[in-house]
Structure 1
Amino acid sequence: MDHAKPLPAYLVSRYHGWKATTYQSNKAWYRRLAESGQHPRAMVISCCDSRVHVTSIFGADEGEFFIHRNIANLVPPYNPDGEYHGTSAAVEYAVSALKVAHIVVLGHSNCGGVKGCHDMCSGHAPQLLEKSSFVGRWMDILRPGYDRVAHLPEADRPRALEREAVLVSLENLMTFPFVKAAVESEYLTLHGLWNDMAEGGVEQYDPASRSFVPL
């Protein structure tokens, strides 16, 4: 592989700073984690957005969360067709191998992926309709959510669609037989959250009111 290059100097410097401070102060803990394997309580499915910092929001340490990130925190429907399924594989591993007790789908404000879905579905992003667009084909997962908010004023749709990304993912999780079985046997619970990045707020989906309410 001739195209890989050494890390930028600022990242190397940060690594050495971490190794000399955080790691040195917690060496026994890191070694225990390495030797005893991971036993996370929860899986968190969040967006790739660099502004969404899951462990900071919940004050989590290493080993607490099994985290999977993708564009717009989406879970596709169960579809064992033998193709590449990174998200589905992560869900399977979390539920079947790690036996997590919770799966949390975390959406967020100002999501670029969700905006792309909105623009594509409303006819403002024809490039995303191309078969060659990986983002567009991934955002097809969210089309049912767009259909549910299409009646809203255009200015209100993107934020509503961000919450629909959470709900569509929760719905799709229940199409996985092993997820459905774990939920119905009460070994697993599903949770939907939406994070307002600017205000630091987090809302959770309340099935009783069928709405997102502040934590």
Structure 2
Amino acid sequence: MSPLRHEIDVRPAQAVAALLDATGERVTSVIPPGYEAYIRVLNPIQFRDGSVVSWTDAVLRSGVEPRAWMQWPELVAVDDVVLPDGGVEPDMGGPPVARATHLIEALRPDSGVHYFASWAGYATEISEPYVAFSPYQHEMVLYSGRLIDDGGAPLVPTTATGRVPMYWWPSDHRWLVGQDIHARSLIVGCTQTVARTILESEHLDAYPISSSDNVRGEEF
């Protein structure tokens, strides 16, 4: 885990917000346009003992064809999908620590400072200064920190409340991770090379998507 530094100078967050599509609910409203590839990474179904199962595995075991934009409420409502006994619905607004670790490994960040944004509305979260991010104009607080230690091992970013932030990006914007506060998945904008690494990871439940796809709300 890597505690983050709260930033008063919000210009790095303003730079990201200015790139987001302010109208509609497309992928480019969450992640800026212009990346070679866009990926949706699904948070796993969790069990009380700490183990997890991916959405894809659960759907395939039920004989149903998985798809990139499958939604948790839809899976619960489909008679043909048999969800694992004792499984708990995926977290909203942030990935589990283990999945965040594997995503960091796939992103291959350098040892420099990265930026992070977390919703100001979380209980006990720092609330200002903030920058409004589309598509819902949520008030986002800026943090900074590292994603790998001196030995290259992943450092999972956390705010003072212990939350993994909703947005992560390096200063050069070569990739960007983002999500809505109610999302049970992450969206990543990146190069084709990084996209292949994410899609080929046995630890990440990920699908290629298009920048023009609509992002449906997951707070049913």
Instruction: Determine which structure has greater relative contact order: mean sequence separation of CA pairs < 8 Å that are 6+ residues apart, divided by chain length.
Output: 2
Could you say which structure has the higher strand fraction? 2
- Which one has a bigger Cα radius of gyration? 1
Greater helix content = 1
With the length of structure 2 as denominator, give the TM-score of the two structures: 0.26
TM-score, normalization: structure 1?
0.26
